[in-house]
Amino acid sequence: MTTSLTALTAHVWSTEEKRILVAAARQAPKRWIEDPWTLSFHDDSLDLYERMANKHWLRDRGGRARLIACGAVLANLDCAIRVLGWAPLLDLTSDVTALDRVARLKASHRARPTAVDFARFAALSGRRTKATPSSVAAWGREIAEVGEAEGVGVRVLTPPHVGALPKVGGQISRKAASAGSWAAFLIGTTTEARGQLLRAGAVAQRLLLASTEYGLVGTVFTEPFDAPAVRGTLAGIDGVPGFPQAVVVVEEPLETPAQKGRTS
């Protein structure tokens, strides 16, 4: 009897690997959407499904925020797969037999994790691995340059720039917990196709993880852009990266009274 080499899978997820992957997925922010996703494991791949039945469907018509949330889960899964020593292959194509499947991630081949992978994975559990930058705005400009993805743009905004945004500027400014040093990453897409909304969510999540790596506090919001009319209006403003889908507010952590009194 002979065995076809093409029939052999590259990898089969172990019980421990599945535990790590599920734990990573659960670290993605849920906001008001609760649990918008489920996972299904196969030999060397996993499928991410969106839960279309959601009590917030009236607020999230079309599933825009739900897809952005699923994109954040994809970013965490990508990170975990890399730390496990595999190169992930992402497939966002639609499956006519499973319309609720948003993506498939496959362990394509062995790849040694990098320092970037380990730092990002540590950030999943809230661990800081780098020194806090002296200027959040300057750090934001540097991070924004490497944070973009296919069809997804990022613009870093200082507080005055945020306040100047029509319709949403005041709402976003109030998201900052203090009047200290903070910046906002405005994430936009060239279209509102399913794949680009997923990538927007992944970009937002990677920005959150980057803020954690540097000891900063990041929060993502999609609510200011819920109304299609708001997204359409802002898309025509110079400097806005397409249709705005989410904003990530990053700020310095608030000092406790004990920290404020330190002299060393």
For 131, other C-beta atoms within 10 Å of its C-beta total 8
What's the confidence (pLDDT) of residue 199?
A: 95
Q: Which residue has the tokens 């009319």?
A: 229
How far apart (Å, rounded) are the C-alpha atoms in residues 189 and 245? 7
Q: Is 216 helix (H, G, I), strand (E, B) or coil?
A: coil
The more confident residue out of 9 and 101 is: 101
Closest CA to 119 of 219, 217, 209, 237: 209
pLDDT band (50, 70, 90) for residue 57 = low
Query: Quick check: 50 and 19 in contact, CB under 8 A?
Result: no
What's the confidence (pLDDT) of residue 51?
A: 82
Closest CA to 45 of 93, 13, 92, 7: 13
The more confident residue out of 257 and 42 is: 42
How far apart (Å, rounded) are the C-alpha atoms in residues 26 and 20? 10
pLDDT digits (tens, 9 = 90+) for 209-234: 999 999 999 999 998 999 999 999 99
The per-residue pLDDT of the chain, averaged, comes to 86
- Top mean pLDDT of 122-126, 142-146, 164-168, 178-182 is at 122-126
CA 117 from centroid of its chain's CA atoms? 15
Residue 6 has pLDDT above 60, yes or no: no
What's the confidence (pLDDT) of residue 45?
A: 96
What's the confidence (pLDDT) of residue 37?
A: 86
pLDDT digits (tens, 9 = 90+) for 164-199: 898 899 988 887 766 667 889 999 999 999 999 999
pLDDT digits (tens, 9 = 90+) for 66-100: 899 999 999 999 999 999 999 999 999 988 888 88
Q: What percent of the chain has pLDDT over 90?
A: 56
Q: Which domains does the chain have, with CATH numbers?
A: 13-124 (3.40.109.30), 136-255 (3.40.109.10)
Average pLDDT of the residues in 106-127: 96
DSSP labels, 147-214: --BTTEEEEEE-HHHHHTSTTTHHHHHTTSSSSSSEEEEEEEESS--HHHHHHHHHHHHHHHHHHHHT
pLDDT digits (tens, 9 = 90+) for 11-48: 899 999 999 999 999 999 876 456 678 999 999 999 99
Which H/E stretch holds residue 245?
Answer: strand 243-251
Q: Which residue has the tokens 């009194």?
A: 261
155: left (phi over 0), alpha (psi -120 to 50) or beta: beta
Residue 4 has pLDDT above 80, yes or no: no
DSSP summary character for residue 31: G
Which H/E stretch holds residue 145?
Answer: helix 136-146
What's the confidence (pLDDT) of residue 17?
A: 97
What's the confidence (pLDDT) of residue 230?
A: 92
Query: Quick check: 54 and 215 in contact, CB under 8 A?
Result: no
CA 51 from centroid of its chain's CA atoms? 18
The more confident residue out of 57 and 240 is: 240
SS3 content of the chain, % helix, strand, coil (to 5): 40, 20, 40
What's the confidence (pLDDT) of residue 178?
A: 63
